[in-house]
Structure 1
Amino acid sequence: MPRRWLNAFWPLMCGRTGWWPLPWPRAPMCCTRRIMKEIYKEIIKLSHDEGVSVLATVVRQGGPAPRGVGAKCLLRSDGTMAGSVGGGMLEAKTLDAAREVMKTGRPRRLGFSLKGTDVAETDMLCGGDVEVFLEPVVPSHAVHRALARELERIERRGGMGLLCTVLDTDQWEGGRVPRLFLGSDGRRAGDLDQSGGLERALQERFSPLSTLRRPGIFSLEQDSGTVEVYLEPVSAEPVLYVFGGGHVSRQVVPLAALVGFPVVVVDDREEFADAGQFPEAREVRCMPFGGVMARLPVDVHAFVVIVTRGHLYDKEVLGQALRTEARYIGMIGSRRKRDLIYKRLLEEGFTEEDLARVHSPIGLDIGAETPEEIAVSIVAELIDVRARG
């Protein structure tokens, strides 16, 4: 269904009257994270390019729009493009402005109104407002290289951080690049201002860094006045650990990989821990389930799916998973099986609060019966949890 039709029918579907569009759902963090990763991979590839590219980012969205805050596109110095800020008129005007930024080397803030006469002759009757920030990028510049390396490091090794960009175009004078990366482990790259006042204000407002969950524009105070900055939380794609290499896993893994989860499969039997059975997995490991969590980097962003071959192994893995900070823990099985395992875990000292973290029976309740249907219900639940940020 075209978006303009959905905008018209959205109020009616939600029980509202009238023909005005409701606020369009924001892009989930997983999408903006993936977009950022791909764009900065492109910048790393261009690290020996002395030409000027332009990075366009949707920094503000009010009402329905083709893409949410965090959407990006990179116009390379050779005229080719990666990513998208929404297509249609919005993207065409963004690219026109990007070519001007490429010539002048000065950033620009570009506002769009996707309603009324501005878009009457186009197919973009979304009804919202969008602001795009266009910044010159010289991939060989020390700041851009350092920022790209830090983002690549997080993607490879995990962790999290905050990427800050000053939107005041005057502060980009003289070839300055007022951008800063702050890692949760204390690593940093770039700077916002020579005095350090903006960085201090940033750290005071967002400490710890994890308090910021979604990208957006924020105002920071410094001696010379208020400065608007665009902040993006940065973290690696959440890894999905699938324990058990049986028939359900063989359906879950390709579907989870398709929607953006890096997947690690673990089984204690060599014939089931077979990479040939899981070509979409990032890694397939054969190891005993006893003490398995101590040998895997299961962190606060991780998703854990427990689909082993029996109650004893499910209980073994679940008990270990509950001692981690994993964001999602799901276990397959009937309610009767779940209750038996819960009873034993309570006897071992776990609490009802601990068990409340577990999604079991795993997956959304869609009446799934076959392995393929069960996989759909499981991955749908993973998407739901991930999208909530």
Structure 2
Amino acid sequence: VGEMECFVQPVENDPSVLVLGAGHVSRAITDLLLFIGCRVTVVDDRPEYVVPEFFDERVTRKCLPLENFKNDLPLDEYNGFIIVTRAHEYDNICLEQLRGYLPTYMGVMGSQKRIHHAFEVLSEQGWTQDELDMIYAPIGLDLGAQTPEEIALSIVSEYLAVVRGKKGGSLRKGRVIHES
């Protein structure tokens, strides 16, 4: 009998990311997530923010109260949670909804001070250090990002690095110099 050569390539579902908050950074994040092949759902409690004009038609938009959005979404279907709400009080409300879920990536946007305060509140509410350590916060890779688009790029880059099991460092650091 003749030999047959087979190539096997695993088929994976498109990663699915839940973005909580629908401001300027969220809009840029959803565009980049779509660009890299993710399915994206965005949730905000403000109807004027989850309008079709702000998001690509492929984004699932949900206007839901942040206090109980988990009742309306299949959270175990997401491999990433990206929290970019308008204030740390809302971040913590979202985190409380997500507690107990173990996505590949969970990140929260905010300054060092804002994150420190948010984590203090979570600790007072009984979150363990292991639970807090699972959260990427402040979110994103250190790219010197300033605009919403640049911030989105740093966040989506970090998400991709974590999903792929990489550190997100510069490739230059690993280059090999060949001497002649």
Report TM bin, short chain. 0.7 to 0.9
CA distance in 2, matches of 1:286, 1:301: 18
- Residue in structure 1 matching 2:112, options 335, 356, 360: 335
Partner SS for 1:340:
helix
**Cα distance, 1:273 vs structure 2:** 1.1
- Taking the TM superposition and a 5 Å limit, the aligned residue runs for 1:68-217 are 108-109=4-5, 133=6
Q: Partner residue of 1:258?
A: 35
Q: Partner residue of 1:245?
A: 22
Q: Partner residue of 1:352?
A: 129
> Are the aligned partners of 1:240 and 1:263 in contact in 2 as well (CA < 8 Å)?
yes
> Are the aligned partners of 2:17 and 2:78 in contact in 1 as well (CA < 8 Å)?
no
CA distance in 2, matches of 1:248, 1:386: 21
Question: Which of the two has greater strand per residue?
Answer: 1
CA distance in 2, matches of 1:264, 1:301: 9
CA distance in 2, matches of 1:270, 1:107: 61
Partner SS for 1:271:
helix
- Taking the TM superposition and a 5 Å limit, the aligned residue runs for 1:229-244 are 234-244=11-21
CA distance in 2, matches of 1:299, 1:233: 21
CA distance in 2, matches of 1:258, 1:247: 17
| Offset from partner CA, 1:237-259 (integer Å, 9 cap, x none) | 22111111101111111111101
**Cα distance, 1:375 vs structure 2:** 0.7
Q: Partner residue of 1:74?
A: none
> Are the aligned partners of 2:43 and 2:50 in contact in 1 as well (CA < 8 Å)?
yes
| Offset from partner CA, 1:80-110 (integer Å, 9 cap, x none) | xxxxxxxxxxxxxxxxxxxxxxxxxx8721x
Q: Percent identity?
A: 38
Change in Cα spacing, 1:349 to 1:249, as seen in structure 2 (3 Å) is same
**Cα distance, 1:281 vs structure 2:** 3.7
- Provide structure 1 residue ranges, at least 5 long, that are not aligned to the other structure: 1-105, 110-132, 135-229
**Is residue 62 of structure 2 the alignment partner of residue 298 of structure 1?**
no
Partner SS for 2:14:
coil
CA distance in 2, matches of 1:288, 1:107: 60
Change in Cα spacing, 1:304 to 1:107, as seen in structure 2 (3 Å) is farther
Based on CA coordinates, which of the two structures has the bigger radius of gyration?
1
- Taking the TM superposition and a 5 Å limit, the aligned residue runs for 1:220-235 are 234-235=11-12
**Cα distance, 1:370 vs structure 2:** 1.1
Q: Which has the higher contact order (CA 8 A, sep 6+)?
A: 2
- Residue in structure 2 matching 1:363, options 140, 156, 179: 140
> Are the aligned partners of 2:70 and 2:98 in contact in 1 as well (CA < 8 Å)?
yes
The residue type equivalent to 2:33 in the other structure is: A
Q: Partner residue of 1:317?
A: 94
Q: What TM-score, normalized by structure 1, do the two folds share?
A: 0.40
- Residue in structure 2 matching 1:277, options 31, 34, 54: 54
Q: Partner residue of 2:178?
A: none
- Provide structure 2 residue ranges, at least 5 long, that are not aligned to the other structure: 167-180
Q: What TM-score, normalized by structure 2, do the two folds share?
A: 0.84
Q: How large is the RMSD of aligned CA atoms in angstroms?
A: 2.0
